[in-house]
Chains A and B, each alone.
Chain A
């Protein structure tokens, strides 16, 4: 067994990359986050996300069913905040409306599917992507496939425990955290413009 700690780095890592959890990557606690497998303060990860998004050539947000469907109180507002964040970061949006492994194919120009997310990444030449509102197991599966087969940098803005299979992952992402990330991107953009 390797004694070098595993790092969650940009791919392509090859067919069937390991689940990061199986290589010892732990989830962050509230107030913390993950950058490439290492636990860091949440604020540091937010700065890193802003840097990645603002320096990307073709960044995309992938909102999942929990955000796309207005299924309970508060979702529509959160969706609006995420859209604002994506617009501010100059990112476009491709939805993941559900998880059916649509066979024989999906249209990668307009949707992303967790069972073959690489198709959407390749088709649109996406270099940085943000997962938000995707249920845990499907997010981890998709993040692993992206790490395995593409050179796209993955970011997860998770409302629950975080995603160890993303290159940067926040956890406990509520409205205040979204507002803070928006603020950081706003001020970084201001500095870049100055």
Chain B
């Protein structure tokens, strides 16, 4: 099906770099792939410059592998570590000014609706915790109050990683970072609860330690945002570089935090969203 969506002009087939030919031959466009299809096709993200063991990189790989319609998806990003991966992602992507991502996404979604009235164009915000819960909180909340049909995904590494380790609203109380040596003085912001109160009709907190659950949440959030209302997914994506743990321990860290109750995984589905999903999920892959 990628072949129907993406075709190289035959005269230039031989000079196209292999990466593009592979995307045409076995990319995920139009296929409706899920987590269990990973390894069987050319992925949207393969190389990236993020650190070894980066929770963001792992979460992005999983997130991109379950987009319901990658060919009709635009990702709106913000400054931060995840932004460094996007030049290598084979999707439409807008890098917005730090903190403005939900405002940009709102305008984009409305414009796409006018331009393609008969088609679902999925606008998905992917940004860090600093961009979402601190500096862009105003834009994020206002987009939810207005009921914008967009999905907001927070990659929560509990710090401003890209600028060298400052505390964010999402850092846990007591967190000590390179540029927060005295330890954070207040609690982690309860964003899932804020999202629900602000009008999100689907809210989930997930992690790459449970890829199937993560995949299901992303799919649900994007589908629900097509017609029912704004949605929010928070992905716990720890940062080995700033929290000084070994790269191979990322998943272990997540599991420990889940076990000791300091990172709660959860899912909230409004009754309208529930009804919509029941109809949608009848015929789609359950992941």
Chain A interfacial positions (CB closer than 8 Å to B):
63, 67-71, 75-76, 79-80, 82-83, 93-95, 97, 100-104, 107, 110-111
Contacts and interface: CB of A to CB of B under 8 A. Distances in A.
B52 interface: no
B84 A63 contact: no
A95 B87 contact: no
A113 to B, nearest CB: 10
Contacts of B10: 70, 76, 79-80
Contacts of A102: 87-88
A97 B17 contact: yes
Interface stretch (B1-9, B159-167, B271-279): B1-9
Contact of A80 (B11, B16, B93): B11
| 9 smallest beta-carbon distances between A and B, as pairs | A79-B9, A83-B11, A70-B7, A79-B11, A80-B11, A103-B87, A70-B9, A100-B87, A93-B15
Nearest to A99: B87
Interface string B69-85: 00000000000000010
Contact of A110 (B17, B49, B88): B17
A67 B8 CA distance: 9
Contacts of B16: 68, 95, 97
A100 B17 CA distance: 14
Interface of B: 6-12, 15-17, 20, 49, 84, 87-88, 93
Given A68-B16, A97-B20, A110-B17, A103 B11 contact: no
Contacts of B8: 68-70
Nearest to A111: B17
A185 to B, nearest CB: 17
Contacts of B93: 100
Given A97-B20, A100-B87, A111-B17, A69 B7 contact: yes
A158 B214 CA distance: 46
A124 to B, nearest CB: 13
Given A97-B20, A104-B49, A69 B9 contact: yes
A80 B147 CA distance: 48
B11 A95 contact: no
Contacts of A69: 6-9
25 contacts: A63-B12, A67-B9, A68-B16, A69-B9, A70-B7, A70-B8, A70-B9, A70-B10, A71-B7, A76-B11, A79-B9, A79-B10, A79-B11, A80-B9, A80-B10, A82-B11, A94-B15, A100-B87, A101-B87, A103-B49, A103-B87, A107-B17, A110-B15, A110-B17, A111-B17
Contacts of B20: 97
A95 B15 contact: yes
Nearest to A83: B11
A69 B49 CA distance: 28
Given A83-B11, A107-B17, 17 more contacts: A68-B8, A68-B9, A69-B7, A69-B9, A70-B7, A70-B8, A71-B7, A76-B9, A76-B11, A80-B11, A93-B15, A94-B15, A95-B15, A95-B16, A97-B16, A97-B20, A103-B87
Nearest to B16: A95
A76 B11 CA distance: 7
